[in-house]
Amino acid sequence: MTDTDLPTEVTARISNSAAPARALREHHDLQLEAVCLTTGIDPERLWQIEGGDIPTPDERAKLAAVYGVEESVFGAP
């Protein structure tokens, strides 16, 4: 799924300044802790990413795999 193929709800939230990681997590009805367990990303770090920090290439790859989207959805440094 590309960033242009995202569900309308997700693109609307991103357009309204939500971080893609948070919009996708909430769209998939997942708890932050569940995503952390699946990705190996520390909860504090995921909270930062969901607050707008740009994820590292490794974090982008892990999040893209969980949500079934391309890494470009999460931005690039």
CA dihedral 34, 36, 39, 40 (to 10 degrees): -130
Hey, what amino acid is at 16?
A: N
Model pLDDT for residues 26-44, shown as the tens digit of each residue:
999 999 999 999 999 999 9
Asked whether the beta carbons of 54 and 68 are under 8 A apart, the reply is no
User: What pLDDT sits at residue 13?
Assistant: 86
Torsional sign, CA 15, 19, 22, 28: positive
**How is domain 3-74 classified at the CATH fold level?**
434 Repressor (Amino-terminal Domain) (1.10.260)
Residues in the chain: 77
Q: What is the pLDDT along the chain (77 residues), one digit of tens a residue?
A: 544 578 888 988 888 888 999 999 999 999 999 999 999 999 999 999 999 999 999 999 999 999 999 999 998 65
A 10 A CB-CB count for 6 gives 21
Q: What is the spatial distance between Cα 36 and Cα 10, in angstroms, rounded to a whole number?
A: 20
